[in-house]
Amino acid sequence: MTRELRIGAAQLGPIARNDSRADVVVRLLDLLSQAEAAEVELIVYPELALTTFFPRWHLEDDDEILSFYEPSMPSPETKPLFDAAAEAGIGFCLGYAELHTSPDGKVHRYNSQILVERDGSTVATFRKIHIPGHEHNEDWREFQHLERRYFEPGPDGFGVWPAFGGLVGMMICNDRRWPETYRVMGLRGVELILCGYNTPIHYAPDPGQDRLQSFHNHLVMQAGAYQNGTWVVGVAKGGVEEGVHSLAESAIIAPSGEIVARAETDGDELVVATCDLDWCRNYKETLFDFDYYRMPEHYGRITAQRGAVPPQEAP
Question: Which positions are catalytic?
Answer: 47, 128, 173
Query: Which residue from 157, 99, 167, 162 is spatially nearest to 128, judged by alpha carbons?
Result: 157
273 binds ligand CDV (CB under 6 A): no
Q: What's the min distance (Å) between Cβ of 77 and ligand CDV?
A: 22
Question: According to CB under 6 A, which residues from 153 to 172 bind ligand CDV?
Answer: none
177 binds ligand CDV (CB under 6 A): yes
Query: Which residue from 186, 197, 180, 161 is spatially nearest to 44, judged by alpha carbons?
Result: 197
For 139-151, the DSSP string reads TTSSS---HHHH-
Give the residue with the Cβ less far from ligand CDV, 173 or 252: 173
Question: According to CB under 6 A, which residues from 182 to 201 bind ligand CDV?
Answer: 197-199
Q: What's the min distance (Å) between Cβ of 83 and ligand CDV?
A: 29
Give the residue with the Cβ less far from ligand CDV, 209 or 274: 209
* Phi then psi dihedrals of residue 176, to 5 deg: -70, -15
Helices (H), the chain: 21-37, 62-66, 79-88, 147-150, 179-186, 213-228, 279-284, 290-293, 301-304
Query: Which residue from 235, 237, 283, 236 is spatially nearest to 257, judged by alpha carbons?
Result: 283
Q: What's the min distance (Å) between Cβ of 56 and ligand CDV?
A: 10
Q: What's the min distance (Å) between Cβ of 207 and ligand CDV?
A: 12
Number of residues that bind ligand CDV (CB under 6 A): 10
Give the residue with the Cβ less far from ligand CDV, 199 or 230: 199
Work out the burial of residue 119: count CB atoms within 10 Å of its CB; fewer than 13 is exposed, 13-18 middle, 19 or more buried. exposed
Candidates 100, 127, 145, 284: give the one binding ligand CDV (CB under 6 A): 145
Other CB atoms within 10 A of residue 21 CB: 18
- Residue environment code for 274-285, b if the CB has 16+ CB neighbours within 10 A, otherwise e: ebbbebbeebbe
Alpha carbons 46 and 234: distance in angstroms, whole number = 8
Give the residue with the Cβ less far from ligand CDV, 15 or 173: 173
Candidates 174, 222, 228, 250: give the one binding ligand CDV (CB under 6 A): 174
Give the residue with the Cβ less far from ligand CDV, 177 or 183: 177
Q: What's the min distance (Å) between Cβ of 215 and ligand CDV?
A: 13
* Amino acid making up residue 151: F
Alpha carbons 168 and 158: distance in angstroms, whole number = 11
Q: What's the min distance (Å) between Cβ of 159 and ligand CDV?
A: 19
Give the residue with the Cβ less far from ligand CDV, 174 or 230: 174
133 binds ligand CDV (CB under 6 A): yes
**Using CB under 6 A as the criterion, which residues of the chain lie in contact with ligand CDV when the complex forms?**
47, 132-133, 145, 173-174, 177, 197-199
